[in-house]
A = this chain, B = another copy of it.
Amino acid sequence: MPHVLPLVAPTTAGSSVTIEQDHGAVIRRSILPGGVRVFTENIPGMRSATVGAWFGVGSRDETDEHAGSTHFLEHLLFKGTARRSALDIAEAFDRVGGESNALTGKEYTCYYARVIDTDLPMAIDVILDMVTSAKLDQADFDMERGVILEELAMNEDDPGDVIHERFAEAVLGGHPLGRPIGGTPEIIESVSRDAVWEHYTQHYAPSTLIVTAAGGVDHDVVCGLVQSALEEGGWDLTTAAPPVSRRDPSAPVESVHTPEIDVVRSELEQSHLLLGTRGFRANDERRNTLAVYNAILGGGMSSRLFQEIREKRGLTYTVYSFGAPSAETGLFGVYAACTPAKAPEVERLMGVEVDRMAEGVTAAELDRAKGQIAGSMVLRLEDSYSRMSRLGKAELAFGELWSIGEMLDQVHAVTADDVAALASDIASRDRAVVRVGPAR
């Protein structure tokens, strides 16, 4: 049975739940005073620790006028606090060889660091200092605007980035999930420090903060460090904040479908193609069926797309399929890149394979896909970042945590009929295609 993750502590604030996990790992979850959620996984023998501070706010929550402000804020948290300069923050992680970064998504923002376990107290202190006490100086703000414009320009030069962003627009246009995470250069040029400050003070609070950590971590120690750091940062933990609700997965997602988008880039040697449809919500009951479907269609070297388009015909170097779930909806797509003369044939074959999935899959394909999903799930367990991230997503998106054993059981329960039904559903959905490359 999955472990349900209540938004308030079952009895009193401060209580914690211990979840025994496979492979000797122990998962524990506590709700601290003020409603701060702390979720850890101790992995015996692991010398690294990864800690993340999560907020369930992303670009999807912005108004059109302030698109990109979540990502702008993420940059500014590294620019200094009451206690630390930008250089102090950078040095804190560099001097221990740690990796520190942040991730702004459409639905959440996460600040994280991977360090040797003995450096975990430092990592928690620095990240929570950034979270509670960022200054957002006007001068830093103006300087960072230039850095963000460079990041947007870099993305604009990457046809893989461009095609994925435009695909979201084709399928979810008019909905905030269809917008690029970083905003547009025009908005970034004009956004004010006050708008970002408002975003910061409105969304970053004890009841919205989730701290997850995995690796060589002790739950009680992490809870103590988190509480001290938040108090040091001046956050009020004495009043019991009302629990923050999770994103409503049943909210209707209204959008405008655009069947074709062509982006002309005359200088490119390759044309990029992305063909797809609306996909499935993160907590859709068919998520394991989708994983099997995706593995068979385009999830590896033995997948149909790879075999039919690359191995048998030599038409591409890269071809794959992917699902991109979000809380409220999702995307499903097939991507390939090839020289322009081959593009019409590759595009046709991509569609043929999506359609052909609806005719069913073989028992051998089903077995291979399940083995692939199970094996890669076990291999990912060795990475403390993956495990930290799994806890954050369980907390933000699912409200439940499955053990590895439960997840493997769910995958093994998928039948060929399940896959065929899902494949028929996908094949019947409105399809969009985005092309980036020389004009045809």
Contacts and interface: CB of A to CB of B under 8 A. Distances in A.
Interface of A: 23, 44-48, 78, 86-87, 89-91, 93-100, 114-116, 119, 142-151, 153-154, 156-157, 159, 265-270, 295, 299-303, 306-307, 310-318, 337-339, 367-368, 371-379, 381-384
Given A150-B270, A150-B316, A150-B337, A46 B87 contact: no
Given A143-B314, A145-B314, A147-B317, A94 B153 contact: no
Contact of A91 (B96, B143, B148, B368): B368
A146 B378 contact: no
A337 B316 CA distance: 29
Contact of A375 (B45, B98, B146, B159): B98
B314 A371 contact: no
A133 to B, nearest CB: 19
Contacts of A157: 159, 268-270
Contact of A97 (B96, B338, B377): B377
A317 B45 contact: no
Given A94-B302, A153-B269, 13 more contacts: A45-B45, A87-B307, A89-B301, A91-B368, A95-B367, A95-B368, A96-B372, A97-B371, A97-B373, A116-B378, A157-B268, A382-B382, A382-B383
A216 B300 CA distance: 24
B143 A382 contact: no
A374 B150 contact: no
A127 to B, nearest CB: 14
A271 to B, nearest CB: 10
A59 to B, nearest CB: 18
Given A48-B382, A143-B314, A375-B119, A153 B97 contact: no
A274 to B, nearest CB: 15
Contacts of A301: 78, 89-90, 93-94, 100
A364 B157 CA distance: 38
B265 A267 contact: yes
Nearest to A374: B97
Given A46-B382, A157-B270, A378-B116, A317 B151 contact: yes
A268 to B, nearest CB: 5
Instruction: Specify which of A302, A337, A374 lies most central, judged by the most chain B CB atoms within 10 Å of its CB.
Output: A302
Nearest to A301: B90
Contact of A153 (B147, B150, B270): B270
A97 B114 CA distance: 25
Contacts of A318: 150, 154
Given A307-B87, A375-B116, A382-B48, A94 B300 contact: yes
Instruction: Specify which of A96, A142, A144 lies most central, judged by the most chain B CB atoms within 10 Å of its CB.
Output: A96
Contacts of A147: 310, 314, 316-317
A250 B90 CA distance: 39
B145 A97 contact: no
A23 B48 CA distance: 13
A267 to B, nearest CB: 5
A317 B372 CA distance: 37
A300 B113 CA distance: 14
A90 B372 CA distance: 11
A207 to B, nearest CB: 31
A97 B379 contact: yes
Shortest 10 CB-CB distances between A and B: which pairs?
A97-B375, A146-B314, A90-B301, A97-B376, A90-B302, A153-B269, A150-B317, A143-B314, A94-B300, A95-B371
Contacts of A86: 311
Contacts of A302: 87, 90-91, 94-95
A7 to B, nearest CB: 33
A160 B157 CA distance: 11
A40 to B, nearest CB: 18
